[in-house]
Amino acid sequence: MSIEGGRIKKELLETFDAVYISNSGQTFEKKSLVPLNMIANNLVDLAQSCNLAEFTCLEKVLQDAIDKNNVLSRRILPLAVVDELWAIAMTNDGSGATMEMEECEANAIDSRCRSALCIISALMQCRVIGRTLSDEDTLD
């Protein structure tokens, strides 16, 4: 990757972090995450607004965001957000009541359920999620 490409990628990840993951208005040194359920909802809302080409780009951003070996040398998307995405995927009717997997598959017409599953799928393509997690990985 060229130096300019690395700078662009770094700016993209920092902006993604500021808009969708961290509380806005805080410096990168002293920032806090928004609650995990809000991060998951932010990502689902974003995915719902994407066309196929945009979602393809979002997949790469998500994979870089969850990989602690990215250009920022830190994971900006907590692994625990995957649990929140599963909760959204399994709550198809908006009532908060979870469904069995078969029911979710049968009712997968709900766009929030579908978007959450697409995000999980994108994250599963990243080697960080696909391997056994160490204690260090589960803490951030």
Produce one character per residue of 29-56: b if its CB has 16 or more CB atoms within 10 Å, e if not.
eeeebeebeebbbebbebbeeeeeeebe
d(CA 109, CA 120): 17
Highest mean pLDDT among 42-51, 66-75, 97-106: 42-51
Nearest to 126 by CA among 54, 91, 88, 76: 76
Tell me if 123 sits within 8 A of 62, measured CB to CB.
Answer: yes
- Return the pLDDT at 104: 54
Tell me if 23 sits within 8 A of 34, measured CB to CB.
Answer: yes
Bigger pLDDT: 52 or 107?
Answer: 52
Tell me if 69 sits within 8 A of 13, measured CB to CB.
Answer: no
The pTM for the full model equals 0.73
Quote the mean pLDDT of the chain: 78
- Return the pLDDT at 136: 47
Bigger pLDDT: 1 or 58?
Answer: 58
Of all residues in the chain, the percent with pLDDT exceeding 70 is 70
Indicate the DSSP class of residue 22. Answer: B
Residue 97 pLDDT > 80: no
- Return the pLDDT at 92: 56
